[in-house]
Structure 1
């Protein structure tokens, strides 16, 4: 078994930023984090590159009775992406699917209100968007985010994560304009194995990181990349 690749999500973000250096200080570029675990990673990326940070809300649709197994995901903008193979194999009924979607939609809206604290969602039209999470397993949640963003008309979508299986990165390359996966260990097992500290990211931490980023973006030197 290989050793963890990163101490925590913040270190993962710093390493990821090194692989995205060409975007440092670029006007029209935006980092969007997938809460909650993606926010500490994305905060470091945005800080080191000197570009704005915001969140893009996505919720996994867990399979009834096996919540960790994703049968799909929903994202801001009302987009739903289904893992049809899981839905068909487990005979998920339309009623089960719709009930799970309603429940997760309510949670998505709650988080949107809580995290933004009155700040409007960013306008991504014509911008390069770097979508960041702490890692990928199946990639279903990230696929939902990419699909939802496409509708809003960005110039390009870059999926960027510290760690993921190679096949998932290749699969996402079919829907994103670029995919940056720093580490692709094999066998993969799960995202958490590759961090020494993978404690759950809490809402308060997310709010604090976003509020800090918003303040820094309003500062005169906010466009200068960090050393």
Structure 2
């Protein structure tokens, strides 16, 4: 009888100890951060990068908020669709293709996944030889491909008024299609389609889009790049 009583008491004590340990473990786990409790879950994927490399059109010249330029609007579109990309606006007002070729090496110190090249408009306005524009655009694209061979490249086409003659304007317009075909990359036929020449969609200088104009430019760009994302 004594032995049986001893066994029962021992069993009760052991169960009590085990119950206390389990309760303590549960409480400790409860207080652990989610990152510790959910180690089995996959970590969030690192966002991929889209770089818009251009001049004042990309930079959003004349807007109170540069985020309302087409590059910023593309980011909002991406966010609304919950796509895992971040946009970097690398536009500098007044930039020529030669200037872009000079600073692209610095930009390429950071990884990128999609590269949208928007340069040449200032070349055309200054009457820079089309051969120079072609060479600079090609060199920029080559540098991007050499550094990040898997990155998708996009070229934004540009047109200029025939102030410097029909021949120059035609050669300038054609260079973008030629380069896009040569490199087998996506071409935005004319960045300012539906905006260029429309007074109500441009600032008083007649060159830079208003906020409403940038909305149209953003659609021109999105139509061509959405398949890459």
Larger relative strand fraction: 1
Task: Report which structure shows greater RCO (CA 8 Å, sep ≥6).
Answer: 1
TM-score by length of structure 1 reads 0.37
The two structures have a TM-score, normalised by structure 2, of 0.36
